């Protein structure tokens, strides 16, 4: 298993850089294009939540992204020092909502939970850690 690490200021204009870093790791892990896209989407949504709900704004701290690649899977660990924010506790959108009931604000967390194989949140010694796991499909 190999490890790569990126630390960036918590800013929305760094999301693109974070996504490129994760897609490169996904390719190293042998994930197919669809799985790499899922990793990109999940990391984008999770980092956006860290900035918006964790730090409550830009330039309030850093986000550390650690990718562990192996022949079978990609593990992405997102770490920040914002107040605890457990995305796994955020309710998903209601099923088949009408337009006026559509809460787009909760969609990001819904995407993270839907496209990744595992999502594990921990908070320890002032650091939030969101572990996202994507496994290679049998066809990949």
Q: Which parts of this chain interact with other proteins (CB under 8 A)?
A: 12-13, 15-16, 19, 37, 40-41, 44-45, 48, 51-52, 93, 95-100, 102, 104-105, 107-108, 110-111, 114-115
- What is the rounded end-to-end Cα distance, in angstroms, of the chain? 18
How would DSSP label each residue in 21-59? HHHHHHHHTT--HHHHHHHHHHHHHHHHHIIIIISSSTT
Q: Closer to other proteins at the Cβ: 93 or 140? A: 93
Element (H, E) at 20: helix 15-28
Output the smallest distance, CB 90 to other proteins, in A. 12
CB 121, CB 86: distance < 8 Å: yes
Q: Closer to other proteins at the Cβ: 97 or 126? A: 97
Output the smallest distance, CB 16 to other proteins, in A. 6
Q: Closer to other proteins at the Cβ: 47 or 70? A: 47
Q: Closer to other proteins at the Cβ: 37 or 121? A: 37
Nearest-angstrom CA–CA distance, 87 and 85: 6
Output the smallest distance, CB 118 to other proteins, in A. 18
């Amino acid at each position: 298993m190999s490890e790569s690490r990126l630390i960036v200021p918590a800013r929305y204009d760094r999301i693109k850089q974070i996504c490129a870093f994760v897609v490169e790791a996904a390719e190293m892990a042998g994930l197919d294009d669809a799985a790499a896209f899922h990793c990109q989407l999940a990391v984008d949504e999770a980092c956006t939540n860290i900035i918006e709900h964790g730090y409550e704004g830009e330039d309030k701290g850093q986000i550390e992204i650690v990718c562990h690649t192996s022949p079978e899977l990609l593990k992405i660990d997102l770490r920040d020092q914002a107040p605890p924010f457990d995305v796994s506790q955020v309710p998903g959108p209601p099923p088949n909502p009408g337009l006026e009931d559509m809460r787009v604000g909760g969609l990001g967390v819904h995407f993270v939970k839907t496209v990744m194989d595992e999502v594990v949140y921990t908070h320890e010694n002032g650091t939030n850690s969101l572990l996202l796991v994507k496994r290679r499909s049998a066809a990949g």
